[in-house]
Amino acid sequence: MFQLDKLIRDNIKTLKAYSSARDEFSGEASVFLDANENSLGSPLKKWYNRYPDPHQQAVKKALSLIKGIAPEHIFLGNGSDECIDLLYRCFCEPGKDNAIICPPTYGMYEVSANINNIALKRAPLLPDFQLNLAHLETLIDENTKLIWLCSPNNPTGNSLNRADIEMVLNHFDGIVVIDEAYINFAKQNSFIQDLVDYPNLVVLQTFSKAWGLAGLRLGMAFASKEILAVMDKVKPPYNINQVTQELALKAMEELGQVKDMIRILVDMREALVGVFESMPTVEKVYPSDANFILVKIAEARKIYEFLLTKGIVVRDRSSVQLCEDCLRITIGTEQENTDLVDAMQDWYASQTIPE
């Protein structure tokens, strides 16, 4: 049975969270002499001399309308990378607890585990990049606190089967994190609406992909109030800066534009899949539910280097297990995609031996 109390690290259970000036006073006032800010202003805009709302209430309220979930179920991080790190720090005892990843997958689950001295177990995906449930099950022990599932997965691009994810959610007593960084490009529905059924579920999303705001650093975690209360206690008080909060609010007024971009990117993805599938040395273009494609192609490393000479950077994943000879290619603008395809034609031309 899932018991959150058993998962929280002892030192976090007893931790008394920092109480910021903005926590201790919340009401109407006109003279703020409580936070050692610069009362004169700043070289920029006067507004920025003040600390931001530590609870990001306005952003959460706007987001709750878009996501169809109450603000109490939303946590905001400095990128979802901060949420990943916080989940380890809240629930995994360094040197004792462990977490499970399903490689090939997003690299920060491993880096964050290493930073926090958390042992990592691996249940590699099957050749079709779906979960190996039988293997996963054998890895779980009494110290397993987190299972990381990335859907759609980076770098493979596919969504994990919903029934498999549900199986993990139903049978694991620790926390299951579903990283949905690329969900807006997928045919599958988000698991956000399933939070009511699963007290052990944390869903991660981000403003870095479909929203086009990677530079702002704004990630989201959706979970039960109880899980988020632990994360709130551990996060730095002002982890989302004022500029990010303001710009995120502005961006959320333009939801239509974001939906248009998603549609265009998905269309261009499908077109690019077709073009790559017709290339002579392409072994496979993996089906993608994300804003990138994974292409298995002969001499991937050489092509990567050739593209660099043309000023085009793709991600060489050929040294990653199960991604041998694979390049991960982000969908660009129409012009960038054309430039990429032209460069690939130049590559093939350079390979023909003159008679």
Ligand X SMILES: Cc1ncc(COP(=O)(O)O)c(C=O)c1O
Q: Where on the chain is the footprint of ligand X (CB under 6 A)?
A: 79-81, 106, 150, 154, 179, 181, 206, 208, 214, 219
Nearest CB to ligand X, comparing residues 17 and 214? 214
Nearest CB to ligand X, comparing residues 8 and 239? 239
Nearest CB to ligand X, comparing residues 99 and 343? 99
Q: Are 146 and 110 in contact (CB under 8 A)?
A: no
Alpha-carbon gap, residue 102 to 153, rounded angstroms:
10
In the complex, minimum distance from the CB of residue 7 to ligand X, in angstroms, rounded to a whole number: 22
What would the DSSP string read from start to end of 261-287?
Answer: HHHHHHHHHHHHHHHHHTSTTEEEE--
In the complex, minimum distance from the CB of residue 181 to ligand X, in angstroms, rounded to a whole number: 4
Q: Is the dihedral of CA 177, 179, 184, 187 positive or negative?
A: negative
Nearest residue relative to ligand X (C-beta): 79
In the complex, minimum distance from the CB of residue 78 to ligand X, in angstroms, rounded to a whole number: 8
In the complex, minimum distance from the CB of residue 283 to ligand X, in angstroms, rounded to a whole number: 24
> What spatial distance separates the first Cα and last Cα of the chain, rounded to whole Å?
71
Alpha-carbon gap, residue 144 to 6, rounded angstroms:
12
In the complex, minimum distance from the CB of residue 21 to ligand X, in angstroms, rounded to a whole number: 28
Alpha-carbon gap, residue 160 to 152, rounded angstroms:
7
In the complex, minimum distance from the CB of residue 154 to ligand X, in angstroms, rounded to a whole number: 4
Alpha-carbon gap, residue 189 to 162, rounded angstroms:
9
Q: Is the dihedral of CA 133, 138, 140, 146 positive or negative?
A: negative
Nearest CB to ligand X, comparing residues 56 and 154? 154
Nearest CB to ligand X, comparing residues 54 and 79? 79
In the complex, minimum distance from the CB of residue 203 to ligand X, in angstroms, rounded to a whole number: 12
Q: Alpha helix locations (H) across the chain? A: 4-7, 10-13, 21-24, 57-67, 80-91, 108-115, 133-139, 162-171, 225-234, 242-252, 255-277, 300-309, 334-351
In the complex, minimum distance from the CB of residue 77 to ligand X, in angstroms, rounded to a whole number: 7
Nearest CB to ligand X, comparing residues 98 and 154? 154
Give the burial string for 310-324 (b: 16+ CB within 10 Å, else e). eebebbbbbebeebe
In the complex, minimum distance from the CB of residue 146 to ligand X, in angstroms, rounded to a whole number: 14
**Secondary-structure breakdown of the chain: helix, strand, coil percentages, each rounded to the nearest 5:** 40, 15, 45
Torsion of CA 70, 72, 78, 82, to 10 degrees: -110
For residue 122, the cross-strand partners are 101
Nearest CB to ligand X, comparing residues 79 and 174? 79
Nearest CB to ligand X, comparing residues 81 and 325? 81
Is 215 in a helix, a strand, or coil? helix
Nearest CB to ligand X, comparing residues 80 and 93? 80
The residues, ordered by sequence, that sit 6+ positions from 304 with a Cβ below 8 Å of its Cβ are 314, 316, 318, 327
